[in-house]
Structure 1
Amino acid sequence: MKIVVIGGTGLIGSKTVAMLRQGGHEAIAASPKAGVNTVTGVGLKEALAGAQVVIDLSNAPSYDVNAVREFFETSGRNLLAAETAAGVQHHVVLSIVGVDRVPGQEYYRAKLAQEKRVQASGIPYTIIRSTQFLEFLGSIADASTDGSVVRLPPGLLQPIAADDVAAIVTEVALAHPRNGIVEIAGPERAPFKEIVARYLTSIGDPRTVERDPEARYFGGRLEEKSLVPWGEARLGRLDLEHWLRGLQNEI
């Protein structure tokens, strides 16, 4: 089966492409570096020729509000039009758990608009909403640092390992379209502060972590369960403790 992975050279994309190829599929890692640009449309027609499935793992190159909105709008419009012309049978897109319930988070708003565009496209689809990746805990801590203190909003976190995300994305792409949403998360749920503190301790980072009711999550205000699944979810296998052990082995 020919499967085109948009964003196929990124964190999740590279793992997904490798898993698909190991399964004997023709997996195309589509990205601007590979001559496929969803914003300009360059290379899309050629990449999608004969493809049965497209997996959209693309990400905006900038977190500027206008740039994010423009990227997902233009990229999504071009990609879905090219898929329709190519007769693609399944569109899979990776989105975010809580994308519809974090006021003030402009990136989430743009991703929600992307979801709605997919739902209205007429192409059979599956939307995968994932919790935050374990690999991004460091970036979250850095963005929330004030001097030597990491100030985090209240609420729960249930982060998932990139390997587990890629495995589930691969499985979903090879299955029949759901024409709906699948939520995925890590196996462990805990307060935001606790998870980030455990991460920093494991890498020997001396920063302290504090719960701050006024802190924002990249501009968004969180409630207790804003970033975790409310109902049934597919769970990854790798919990925080085992992921941290692997991380320490790499250091």
Structure 2
Amino acid sequence: MRIFVAGGRGQVGVPLADLLRSQGHEVVVGSRADGVDVLTGAGLGAALAGVEVVVDVLNTTETEAGAATAFFRGTTERLLAAEQSAGVRHHVLLSIVGADRALANGYYAGKVAGEDAVRGGDVPFSIVRATQFVEFVPTLADWLTVDGAVLAARTLLQPVPLADVVDLLARTATGRPSGTTTDLAGPQAVPLDELLRRALADDPREVRTVQGQSLGAESTDALVPLGEHLTGSRRG
């Protein structure tokens, strides 16, 4: 199977491309370094020639809602249009569990805009929503650091190892389009302040518990699965 990985040089794309190749698939890496710019469409049509499945793991550093939405919606719509022209049969999107319950977070609002574009498109799709990666927890601490202290609420997180996310993306890409969303989470929900205290045990920063919610969450359980979901097989 010929599979295009949009964002194939990133944190998720590299191990995903490696796993798919190890399974015998032909992987086309979509990145500027490979002559493909999904933002402008440069090189995209040629890269999708003969491709059966597109997996979108594109990412941005934008955190303001307008900019993040423009990125995720714009790249998704450009991909879908090119996929239609190329005859791609399956679009797989990586998103975030609870993103639609944390729209005060501009990045999450952008991810939801990307999901909406996929659902509104004409290419058969599957959406994989994962909780925050275990490997991403230290970055969360950096985001929440103010004047040398980490300010975190009791918002629940259920981190999942990146390797479990990659496994599910590969299974989804090589299966039939579901037309639905699959949620993936780690084995245990933990309050964010507690999670960060564990992660920063050897870090001089103090983790201070604050009232309300963190990361734009609407409620304490907004960023964990609220219904049927898959649980990762690895512990972080």
TM-score (norm: length of structure 1): 0.90
Q: Match of 1:100, SS?
A: helix
Tell me which moved more, 104-113 or 207-216: 207-216
Structure-to-structure mapping, 1:19-58, within 5 angstroms: 19-58=19-58
Structure 1 letter corresponding to 2:46: E
Q: Residue deviations 1:176-232, cap 9 Å, x none? A: 11100000011121111111111111xx11222222114641xx1441111100011
Deviation at 1:165, TM superposition (A): 0.8
Deviation at 1:22, TM superposition (A): 0.1
Tell me which moved more, 73-82 or 56-65: 56-65
Indicate whether 1:223 and 2:222 are aligned. no
Partner Cα separation in structure 2 for residue 94 and residue 86 of structure 1: 21
1:116 alignment counterpart: 116
Structure 2 letter corresponding to 1:109: A
Structure 1 letter corresponding to 2:207: V
Partner Cα separation in structure 1 for residue 137 and residue 99 of structure 2: 18
Indicate whether 1:102 and 2:132 are aligned. no
Partner Cα separation in structure 1 for residue 107 and residue 73 of structure 2: 12
Structure-to-structure mapping, 1:1-251, within 5 angstroms: 1-201=1-201, 204-214=202-212, 216-217=214-215, 220-239=216-235, 243=236
Structure 2 letter corresponding to 1:207: R
Q: Which runs of 4+ in 1 moved over 4 A?
A: none
Tell me if structure 1 keeps the 8 A contact 2:95–2:111: yes
Deviation at 1:39, TM superposition (A): 1.1
Deviation at 1:48, TM superposition (A): 0.6
Structure 1 gap segments, 5+ residues each: 244-251
Structure 2 letter corresponding to 1:161: P
Distance 1:28 1:45, change over 3 A: same
Deviation at 1:50, TM superposition (A): 0.5
Partner Cα separation in structure 2 for residue 63 and residue 33 of structure 1: 24
1:248 alignment counterpart: none
Structure 2 gap segments, 5+ residues each: none
Partner Cα separation in structure 1 for residue 61 and residue 103 of structure 2: 22
Give the alignment's Cα RMSD to 1 decimal: 1.4
Tell me which moved more, 208-217 or 91-100: 208-217
Distance 1:117 1:54, change over 3 A: same
Deviation at 1:117, TM superposition (A): 1.0
Tell me if structure 2 keeps the 8 A contact 1:154–1:222: no
Deviation at 1:60, TM superposition (A): 2.2
Partner Cα separation in structure 2 for residue 228 and residue 214 of structure 1: 16
1:249 alignment counterpart: none
Deviation at 1:67, TM superposition (A): 2.4
Q: Match of 2:100, SS?
A: coil
Equivalent residues, number: 236
Structure 2 letter corresponding to 1:223: S
Tell me if structure 1 keeps the 8 A contact 2:130–2:185: yes
Distance 1:104 1:3, change over 3 A: same
Q: Match of 1:227, SS?
A: coil
Partner Cα separation in structure 1 for residue 212 and residue 85 of structure 2: 48
TM-score (norm: length of structure 2): 0.95
